[in-house]
A and B are shown apart, each in its own frame.
Chain A
Amino acid sequence: MQHTIEELEELARKCRIEIIKMVYRAQAGHPGGSLSEIDLLAGLYGTTMRVRSDDPDWEDRDRFILSKGHASPGMYALLAERGFISHEDLKSYRVLGGVCQGHVDMKWCPGVDFSAGSLGMGLSYGMGCAIAAKLDGSERRAFVMLGDGEIQEGSVWEAAMAAAHHELGNLKVILDRNRIQNDDFCETQMRMFDIPAKWRAFGWNVKEIDGHDMNEVVEGMNYLAETNDGPSILIAHTVKGKGISFMEDNPSFHGAAPNDEQYALALSELGVEL
């Protein structure tokens, strides 16, 4: 399914509205990382991602692994916009018995391929999916979304080294480089120095983009789709809380919900008339 840049931008805008609504309703959750990743999710699902909303368990679907599983509102919003779940389901975010668990969970939500919630696990899991695809002789790929703070987990680098060793051209990573983690800016919590150089040194194909410029996002997804000589990573420079003025680049909105006043302001900034 091919979309224009404008259509993808509109998809992302709709998702942003749902993200804000979910977090506001639950009065909990992670808006910042959901807003930073959402243009990337829209770009991925709107271009190269091979999935079927009417058959979410289709064996030969591409896998998508949201390793930064706390940014679940972004994933749920996208799944609703793409028809995997209903907009009514979004109201179950963080609610007892709801398909929209606090962190994305494959046992609860259609279209979710990995039970996340603990950082540093998704890349290894995606590697397993990629090896299985190769053994099956299948064209399916594994896409993994990592947070930048997440790559402070040592196990990410176990996986990075192993994926290059096994020459997994069907393993593709998108790194949401939003520069903020739970407690503060990454720069104060744990400096990561030259991130692209680190991945190159581990044997990966690397491309950097502006993760909020939809032309660059689409170009990045095409790069991932076309790069099959070993694993590849798209390092997307993003802004935490992107799209909501008071959330942008603000560590306070990593894991905090807006109050009534902030909620109204956020929706108006997204073009919603209350």
Chain B
Amino acid sequence: MAATRDGYGQALLELADNEKVVVLEADLGKSTKSLHFRKAYPERTISCGIGEQNMLLVAAGMASSGYIPFASTFAIFTERAFEQMRNGVARPKLAVHLCGSHGGTHTGTDGSSAQSIEDLAIFRTLPNVTVMHPSDEVSTRILTKRLATSTNPSYMRTARNKTPVLYDDVPEDLIQIGKGIELKNGTDVAIISCGVLVSESLKAAEILAEEGIHATVVDMHTIKPLDTDLIDNVAQRCGCIVTAEDHSIIGGLGGAVAEHLSMTSTTPLERVGVKDRFGESGQSDEMLEIMELSAPHIVKAARRAMQRK
């Protein structure tokens, strides 16, 4: 078990050899894990105080001057700087990399004010912006490192709490921006998931397997650009799809997959996500249960999808 935010912090350290890499903080470096970089490279770490709007545009100014800025705060507070991201970063296509940690209801006991459930949706609407929500500490580390050579700005959501490590012994080449990863290869139903719900989706596949149902499980860590080839492939093979995310059912991974499928096939789709409501204080496992996001709920959605074939 490990938290994806730790993968982010580790990646920043590994990127530090590139002297153009700079880190920007808004008083949450201890939480987002950029603090390791700050301690090792204070001269390349810019404290922006509790001021996310300023942070995004300082990063943009630095990107315009040849630097590779990684800025982080809580996912919920990135939303305050949405227009800065839109007008100051995405529009001039400045490669600023924004990380929102503590995303989703999984973040737990801080309660609904801290549980961003709309970040993926809003940043996905911006031209030029790559949007990612990796599932484990290893893939977060690898994808963060890949961002340093990307010419597009990005938004990446990480999670506060620990989740299973899924990619301990895999070749790094497997993990590429914009390429979903098939973790299980079944023919009855395809579960396309991201972030903390990928491990729940794998549990769901095990439960389904006991019933003789063979599920495909895809880790769709990149929500934009969406790996539509893989979606078409699993739609054809399985005949029905479930999406699962710790995010509003409006506009996130489920929304992105629905938008694509609506143009290319009549494959039934069931979306597991936060049902247009806010969360509350609770432990991570309790939140996944009360928000109907845990493995049993993914199983139910898979049965519904299969019935609609």
Interface of A is mostly: helix
Chain B CB within 8 A of A220 CB: no
Interface Cβ pair total, 8 Å cutoff = 101
Residue-wise, chain B 17-48 has the 8 Å CB interface mask toward A (1 for contact) of 00000100000000000000000000110111
Q: Does A186 contact B (CB under 8 A)?
A: no
Q: Which residues on the A side are within 8 Å of B57 (C-beta)?
A: 121, 124-125, 127-128, 155, 159
Interface size on A, residues (CB 8 A): 32
Q: Is B92 an interface residue (CB 8 A)?
A: yes
A127 and B51 contact, CB distance less than 8 A: no
Query: Is the Cβ of B54 less than 8 Å from the Cβ of A132?
Result: no
> Is B62 interfacial (CB 8 A cutoff)?
yes
A166 interface contact, C-beta 8 A: yes
CB-based contact A125/B61 at 8 Å: yes
A-B contact pairs, 26 of them (CB 8 A): A113-B64, A114-B64, A115-B87, A118-B83, A118-B87, A120-B53, A124-B55, A124-B57, A124-B61, A124-B84, A125-B58, A127-B54, A127-B57, A128-B64, A128-B65, A129-B64, A131-B46, A131-B58, A135-B22, A154-B53, A158-B51, A158-B54, A159-B54, A159-B58, A161-B51, A162-B58
B: residues with CB less than 8 A from A are 22, 43-44, 46-49, 51, 53-67, 69, 83-84, 87-88, 91-93
Which residues of chain B are near A118, meaning CB under 8 Å?
83, 87-88
On whether A155 and B53 interact (CB within 8 A), knowing A115-B88, A124-B58, the answer reads yes
When the two chains form the complex, which single residue of A120, A128, A136 contacts B60, counting CB atoms closer than 8 Å?
A128
- In the assembled complex, the CB of B51 is this many whole angstroms from the nearest CB of chain A, namely 4
Closest to A107 in B: B92
Q: How far is the CA of A263 from the CA of B65 in the complex (A)?
A: 41
| A149 lies within 8 A of chain B by Cβ | no
Partner of A132, one of B55, B56, B66: B66
Q: Which 3 A-B pairs have the closest CB atoms?
A: A128-B61, A124-B57, A132-B65
- Which A residues are CB-close (under 8 A) to B54? 124, 127, 155, 158-159, 162
Q: Which residues of B contact A107 (CB under 8 A)?
A: 91-93
Interface of chain B: mostly helix, strand, loop or mixed: helix
CA of A128 to CA of B51, assembled, Å: 14
For B44, B47, B61, the residue with the greatest tally of chain A CB atoms inside 10 Å of its CB is B61
Which chain B positions have C-beta within 8 A of A120? 53
Q: Among the listed B43, B66, B87, which residue makes an inter-chain contact with A117, where contact means beta carbons less than 8 Å apart?
A: B87
CB-contact partner of B92 in A106, A126, A136, A154, under 8 A: A106
With the chains together, A127 CA to B57 CA distance in Å? 8
Question: Which residues between 169 and 218 of chain A lie within 8 Å of chain B, taking CB atoms?
Answer: none
Kindly list chain B residues whose C-beta atoms are within 8 Å of the C-beta of A106.
Answer: 64, 92
**In the docked arrangement, what's the CA distance between A113 and B63, Å?**
12
Give the Cβ gap from B22 to chain A, nearest Cβ, in Å.
7
Cα separation A126 to B56 with both chains bound (whole Å): 12
A221 to chain B, nearest CB (A): 22
What separation, in Å, do the CA atoms of A59 and B63 have in the docked complex?
A: 13
Known: A135-B22, A155-B54, A162-B51. A121 touches B62 (CB 8 A): no
